[in-house]
């Protein structure tokens, strides 16, 4: 029971969103187009034929949204900046009106005592850079460092943390590997090269931001899971080891060990990335924190057709297995593989559910159970010595779930897309009470 969980008194409780998923105002005040504007307007790409033109209209309703956060009593808000809002082409001129929006948002958060945790890149590359080759072009990594430098120079003293990338695995594998995400390329060699350029851009951005002297904590956010063999067979175990190497170690090893995992390099063979001398020295910048996004595990099966996860705890509306203990196992495994693991934030965790607004309420008990069991799993990892500093629930509100459009709801606040009205779900009230209880118990201790 959550009543018995006690997190440390300085633990950060937060909620998370990203720019393209909530802001709307796609062309307002000088914003340039991003690859997600282009992609979502391409017929056949988004399941419900929607786009991000309006989304939750957070650009105009941010004050209401910050008030919602204050009502929840969160300590912190994780959000991303739309690069093409502040630099319309991704190179050249800055857009002061775009920066002004984020300054207003920071003011509103500051008024409410909510700490801002910024992500620089949550998948919405400026179209101008895509026209120059996107993440396949090594030069894009340098443009990203210029952008990171400018943001840290302007806002570095107002931000609690700055993450370079959100889930580069997705940018590479869904954007360039299987075309599910923008820019819609399906080419394994490109996906692997892009992952290297993303890591390089992370390292260059870290250097550029450090050079500003910012006191914000600097890091990266990775989506991670455990890879379990479906059975005890050697074939399943081999697949599980390869999945861990390709998805987790592929991004962790360069940062913490200045190399790519050997297992993956062997498996990739001729599609291994082109790595320049000195790249790993750039990538392996010391991190102030690692952001971990955890939703599910992978179960690896060599059988045809593959065995499916048993799903004893059920599946989410995304079809993802609910597996809270995977969060404990993941964090323990990370610490074993990377003894110098920096402090961790759980930067995303939450679920898509089939919600319904009835009588002005949304009874999403299933989401409450998901969050509660994952918090228990998180605390179990902390009790085993993993240094975790905070938890950000994904997501503050229902929003544009990429190629699923508005058909999947991850929010703890319901959004009526016809009126843009926000209604806190039962999970929001539960999270509010949970945070309040943590504070009360802290005071009593």
Binding site for ligand IFM (CB under 6 A): 18, 21, 167, 293, 348, 394, 401, 410
Residues 6+ positions from 256 with CB-CB distance below 8 Å: 284, 338, 340, 341
Q: Is the CB of 222 or the CB of 378 nearer to ligand IFM?
A: 222
> Minimum CB separation from ligand IFM for residue 119, in Å?
10
Which residue bears the tokens 């045809």? 304
Alpha carbon 321 to chain centroid distance? 19
Rounded Cα gap, residues 154 and 217, in angstroms? 15
**Residue among 160, 80, 55 nearest 114 (CA):** 160
Instruction: Give whichever of 229 and 326 is closer to ligand IFM, judged by the CB atom.
Output: 326
> Residue 376 catalytic?
no
Nearer to ligand IFM, 144 or 294 (CB): 294
Q: Per the residue annotation, which of 23, 243, 348, 401 is the catalytic one?
A: 348
* Main-chain dihedrals φ then ψ at residue 246, nearest 5 degrees: -70, -30
Of 126 and 405, which has the nearer Cβ to ligand IFM?
405
d(CA 364, CA 362): 6
Calpha distance 400→407 (Å, rounded): 8
Taking the least distance from each CB to ligand IFM, the nearer of 289 and 394 is: 394
Let me know if 348 is a catalytic residue: yes
- Of the residues 23, 167, 321, 401, only one is catalytic, namely 167
| Shortest spacing between CB 92 and ligand IFM, in angstroms | 28
Q: What's the closest the beta carbon of residue 347 comes to ligand IFM, in angstroms?
A: 9
Min separation Cβ 40 and ligand IFM, Å: 14
| Ordered alpha helix ranges (H), 23-81 | 35-40, 58-72
Pairing of strands 413-415, 422-424: antiparallel
Strands 413-415 and 344-348, how do they pair?
Answer: unpaired
The distance of closest approach from Cβ of residue 345 to ligand IFM in the complex, given in angstroms and rounded to an integer, is: 14
Query: In degrees rounded to 5, what are phi and psi of residue 107?
Result: -60, -45
- Tokens encoding 380: 């179990």
Kindly list the catalytic residues.
Answer: 167, 348
């Amino acid at each position: 029971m959550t009543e018995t969980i006690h997190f440390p008194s300085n633990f950060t409780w937060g909620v998370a969103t990203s720019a393209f998923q909530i802001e709307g105002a796609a062309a307002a005040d000088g914003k340039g187009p991003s690859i997600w504007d282009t992609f979502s307007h391409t017929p056949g790409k988004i399941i419900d034929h929607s786009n991000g033109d309006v989304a939750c209209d957070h650009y105009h309703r941010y004050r209401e949204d910050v008030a919602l956060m204050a009502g929840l009593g969160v300590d912190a808000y994780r959000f991303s900046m739309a690069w093409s809002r502040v630099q319309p082409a991704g190179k050249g001129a800055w857009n002061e009106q775009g920066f002004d929006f984020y300054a207003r948002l920071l003011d509103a958060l500051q008024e409410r005592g909510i700490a801002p945790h910024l992500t620089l890149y949550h998948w919405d590359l400026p179209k101008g850079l895509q026209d120059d080759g996107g993440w396949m072009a090594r030069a894009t990594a340098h443009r990203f460092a210029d952008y990171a430098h400018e943001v840290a120079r302007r806002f570095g003293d107002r931000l609690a943390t700055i993450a370079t990338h959100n889930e580069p695995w997705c940018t590479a594998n869904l954007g360039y590997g299987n075309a599910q995400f923008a820019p819609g390329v399906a080419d394994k060699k490109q996906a692997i090269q892009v992952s290297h350029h993303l890591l390089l851009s992370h390292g260059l951005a870290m250097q550029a931001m450090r050079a500003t002297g910012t006191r914000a904590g600097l890091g990266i956010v990775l989506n991670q899971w455990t890879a379990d063999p479906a059975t005890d067979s050697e074939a399943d175990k081999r697949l599980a080891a390869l999945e861990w190497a390709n998805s987790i170690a592929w991004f962790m090893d360069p940062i913490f060990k200045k190399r790519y995992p050997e297992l993956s390099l062997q498996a990739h063979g001729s599609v291994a990335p082109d790595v320049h001398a000195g790249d790993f020295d750039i990538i392996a910048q010391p991190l102030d924190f690692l952001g971990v996004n955890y939703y599910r595990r992978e179960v690896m099966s060599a059988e045809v057709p593959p065995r499916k996860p048993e799903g004893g705890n059920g599946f989410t509306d995304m079809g993802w297995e609910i597996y809270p203990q995977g969060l404990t196992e993941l964090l323990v495994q990370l610490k074993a593989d990377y003894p110098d693991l920096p402090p961790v934030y759980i930067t995303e965790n939450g679920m898509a559910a089939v919600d319904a607004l009835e009588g002005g309420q949304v009874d999403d008990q299933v989401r409450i159970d998901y969050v509660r069991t994952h918090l228990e799993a998180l605390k179990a990892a902390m009790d085993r010595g993993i240094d975790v500093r905070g938890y950000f629930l994904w997501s503050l509100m229902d929003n544009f779930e990429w190629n699923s459009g508005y058909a999947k709801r991850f929010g703890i606040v319901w959004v009526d897309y016809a009126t843009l009205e926000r209604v806190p779900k039962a999970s929001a009230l539960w999270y509010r009470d949970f945070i309040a209880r943590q504070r009360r118990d802290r005071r009593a201790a």
